[in-house]
Amino acid sequence: MEAARKTELDAMVAKVSAQKAAWLAVPLAERITLLEACRKGVAEVAKAWVDDGCALKGIAPGSNLAGEEWLAGPVVTMRNIRLLLETLQAGGSVTLRESAPQKAEGGDKRVVRVFPRSLFDRLMFPGATADVVVEAGKPASTGRIYREKAEGEGKVCLVLGGGNVSSIPPMDVLYKLFAENEVVVLKTNPVNAHIGGKLEKAFAALVDRGFLAVTGGDAEDGAYLAEHEGVDTLHVTGSDRTYDAIVWGKDEAERKDRKSRGEPRNARPFSAELGCVTPVLVVPGPWSDGDLEFQARHVAAMVTNNASFNCNAAKVLVVSKYWLQRETFLRKVKEALGRIPARKAYYPGAEARYDAFRSRYRTESVGAADDGQIPWTILPDVPNVEGEYALTNEAFCGILGVVTLDAEGPAAFLEEATRFANDRCWGTLSAVLLVAEATQRDFADDLERSLAALRYGAIGVNLWPGVIYGLASPPWGAFPGHPPEDIRSGSGFVHNTLLLDHPEKTIVRGAFRIRPTPPWFSDHKNLRALGERLFAFESEPTFGHFVGVATAAMRG
């Protein structure tokens, strides 16, 4: 690295570090003022934010698919700010309604409902709920940093931003500042480096006070900052390989040696969100033709959203050998994927990852793909064995494996599928269960045992776990407990705008068939208008803006 660049980065860290103690002393009212300024700033940059995101991902400006960039960028960021403001305006610590405790080995765990919390929540997402399971033996408390007097000199956190979804960097920054009381140096990912300048402008109130600094750069810049003496803690959204390189060393032999000795190269406190081989557990039951059609579209949406460059994208479809509708459902999934055009493979390494899977499995490609695109591809017969490549490597491209379990009936399937998800699939970030309402009623105890046993931080029952990310009020992160030597999906949580102190996992539930078409469906016919109107609503949640959202949604 050139000396001039080192000097620039040193000055940036020094400026933020000089304010870390001051940040601890910023009173609640002033923090609210700073957040309000950020809210206005996001509104000012939103259009350019979306336009540049579309250019990166090969989406035509003004096209329907541009709505995806509205949703994944400005909309969810604005929602995060709005909900965080509500918590701070309530004093920084709120009381949540507790649901029935979750029965688990070692004792019951407390459960709190984090969604819905308002009339608009109920109108926007009818029937949807989100519950957070609290770690065993811990209270369902919130807002520790606002209940207790801040001590110490403060901390500087280096946030290494994710490159696939543009709301990741700003939401990680907000969490470190307002939930963990740390000032931030944000280094954007080279993939979506365009977001850096926009965030500097949007969060100018924080930047001008020295509570936040934003920089771009390559991996060398990130490595330099990660070991900078002025950096106290780290947070990354990316891959476990990035985490290991920072904590244990770039060289494989060095990593192996250090792990064996328990001597990390970088021992700073490190939170991380690192992806997952997300399983979709299809619980057998009598589904109508409409059920089969809708859930096929739902699975296709979990694969194709953001060109499948999501850490929570569906990667393994798990079905019962004895389900009479299995072949019909798999055919409909293939047909649903075939109706969705291939997307630009904008994320680096996609072609190499795709080729690695194709070289190992029989594949069924769906639809045509132009240069620079990867076709949606099904692996129809992935073996259910320990260490299987498709179960232990996140494809991070448009690949969906199919695993068939030798388990007959809902009860047996839930038990076996839970064991499969926990023991065979790499990662603990996100999992999905598709369960018809009648099956939920008839096998309620079996379903609840499965939900209690699943070791995932974000679990969707008839909802894609990306909904948990988008709601912003639930915590987002891996199931707790991964040691640094085997980090998998990561450690710690972000988002969590209600500031829960001890979350373990979130379970979101929805109707088996959702109407109108959900906004994360790639075949939504009015997505751009819906994205724009959702942004207007999150900026100012009025009844008039809600009507605009509802009107756009009904045309999808």
pLDDT tens, residue by residue, 473-517 = 999 999 999 999 999 999 999 999 999 999 999 999 999 999 999
The pLDDT score that the predictor gives to residue 105 is 73
In a domain, 486, yes or no: no
Distance (Å, whole) CA 343 – CA 346: 9
**Phi/psi of residue 209, nearest 5 degrees:** -85, -5
Nearest CA to 422 out of 414, 319, 103 is that of 414
Range 432-451 burial, b when 16+ CB lie within 10 A, else e: bbbbbeebbeebeebbbbbb
Distance (Å, whole) CA 418 – CA 449: 9
The CATH number given to whatever domain includes residue 375 is 3.40.309.10
Distance (Å, whole) CA 290 – CA 511: 13
Same domain, 87 and 225: yes
Question: Looking at the DSSP assignment, which residues form a beta bridge with residue 404?
Answer: 319
Domain holding 85, by residue range, is 3-94+150-238
Q: Is residue 104 predicted with pLDDT exceeding 80?
A: no
- The single residue listed with the structure tokens 């023991």 is 423
Let me know: does 188 contact 228? Beta carbons within 8 Å: no
Q: Which amino acid, residue 40? A: K
Q: What is the pTM of this model?
A: 0.97
Distance (Å, whole) CA 281 – CA 347: 27
Each as own residue / partner, the long-range contacts of residues 287-290 (CB below 8 Å, 24 or more positions apart, any chain) are: 287/325, 287/329, 287/436, 290/513
Query: Where residue 303 falls among pLDDT bands split at 50, 70, 90?
Result: very high
Helices (H) and strands (E) in the chain, counts: 23, 21
In a domain, 361, yes or no: yes
pLDDT tens, residue by residue, 448-484 = 999 999 999 999 999 999 999 999 999 999 999 999 9
In a domain, 127, yes or no: no
Residue where a domain stops, chosen among 238, 263, 298: 238
The pLDDT score that the predictor gives to residue 305 is 98
Q: The tokens of 451 are what?
A: 């939900």
Same domain, 305 and 415: yes
The pLDDT score that the predictor gives to residue 197 is 97
Same domain, 206 and 88: yes
Same domain, 310 and 363: yes
pLDDT tens, residue by residue, 271-302 = 999 999 999 999 999 999 999 999 999 999 99
Same domain, 422 and 295: yes
Among residues of the chain, what percentage have pLDDT more than 70? 100
Q: Is residue 402 predicted with pLDDT exceeding 80?
A: yes
Mean pLDDT of 18-22: 97
Mean pLDDT of 292-316: 98
Distance (Å, whole) CA 158 – CA 228: 10
Q: Which residues contact 58 (CB under 8 A, 6 or more apart)?
A: 343, 344, 346, 372
Residue where a domain stops, chosen among 456, 473, 502: 456
pLDDT tens, residue by residue, 51-85 = 999 999 999 989 999 999 999 999 999 999 999 99
Conformation bin of residue 217: beta by default, left when phi > 0, alpha when psi is -120 to 50: left
Q: Give the C-alpha distances (Å, rounded to integers) separating 437 from 297, 327, 430, 451.
A: 18, 21, 22, 16
* Average pLDDT value for the chain: 96
In a domain, 255, yes or no: no
Q: Is residue 24 predicted with pLDDT exceeding 80?
A: yes
In a domain, 528, yes or no: yes
Q: Give the C-alpha distances (Å, rounded to integers) separating 498 from 42, 191, 206, 314, 473.
A: 21, 31, 21, 28, 6
Let me know: does 73 contact 166? Beta carbons within 8 Å: yes
Q: Is 308 helix (H, G, I), strand (E, B) or coil?
A: helix
Same domain, 36 and 165: yes
In a domain, 183, yes or no: yes
Length of the chain: 556
The CATH number given to whatever domain includes residue 212 is 3.40.605.10
Let me know: does 497 contact 80? Beta carbons within 8 Å: yes
Q: Which amino acid, residue 528? A: R
Same domain, 290 and 406: yes
In a domain, 200, yes or no: yes
Mean pLDDT of 520-545: 97
pLDDT tens, residue by residue, 153-198 = 999 999 999 999 999 999 999 999 999 999 999 999 999 999 999 9
Distance (Å, whole) CA 252 – CA 488: 17
Same domain, 53 and 183: yes
Same domain, 234 and 309: no
Query: For residue 60, what is the DSSP state?
Result: P
Distance (Å, whole) CA 392 – CA 543: 47
Q: The tokens of 272 are what?
A: 């991380």
Count of domains forming the chain: 3
Q: Is 235 helix (H, G, I), strand (E, B) or coil?
A: strand
Question: 490: how many CB neighbours lie within 10 A of its CB?
Answer: 28
Same domain, 542 and 444: no
The pLDDT score that the predictor gives to residue 103 is 81
Q: Residue 45 class from Cβ within 10 Å (0-12 exposed, 13-18 middle, 19+ buried)?
A: buried
Listing DSSP states for 350-389 in one string gives: HHHHHHHHHTTS--EEES---TTEE-EEEETT----TT-H
pLDDT tens, residue by residue, 339-388 = 999 999 999 999 999 999 999 999 999 988 999 999 999 999 999 999 99
| Helical H segments across 108-189, by residue range | 119-124, 144-147, 168-178
Listing DSSP states for 168-211 in one string gives: HHHHHHHHHHHTT--EEEEE--STTTTHHHHHHHHTHHHHHTTS
Q: Which residues contact 328 (CB under 8 A, 6 or more apart)?
A: 292
Give CA angle at 366 (368, 386), nearest 5°: 135
Q: Residue 141 class from Cβ within 10 Å (0-12 exposed, 13-18 middle, 19+ buried)?
A: middle
The pLDDT score that the predictor gives to residue 367 is 86
Q: The tokens of 63 are what?
A: 């096209």
Q: Is residue 90 predicted with pLDDT exceeding 80?
A: yes
Question: 90: how many CB neighbours lie within 10 A of its CB?
Answer: 14
Q: Is 461 helix (H, G, I), strand (E, B) or coil?
A: strand
The pLDDT score that the predictor gives to residue 174 is 98
Distance (Å, whole) CA 404 – CA 417: 10
Cα torsion at 532, 535, 540, 543 (round to 10°)? 60
The pLDDT score that the predictor gives to residue 99 is 86
pLDDT tens, residue by residue, 36-54 = 999 999 999 999 999 999 9
Let me know: does 278 contact 429? Beta carbons within 8 Å: yes
The pLDDT score that the predictor gives to residue 151 is 83
Nearest CA to 340 out of 527, 197, 204 is that of 527
In a domain, 232, yes or no: yes
Same domain, 411 and 298: yes
Same domain, 286 and 205: no
Residue where a domain stops, chosen among 214, 238, 262: 238
The pLDDT score that the predictor gives to residue 448 is 96
pLDDT tens, residue by residue, 190-249 = 999 999 999 999 999 999 999 999 999 999 999 999 999 999 999 999 999 999 999 999
Range 5-41 burial, b when 16+ CB lie within 10 A, else e: eeeebeebbebbbebbeebbebeeeebeebbebbbeb
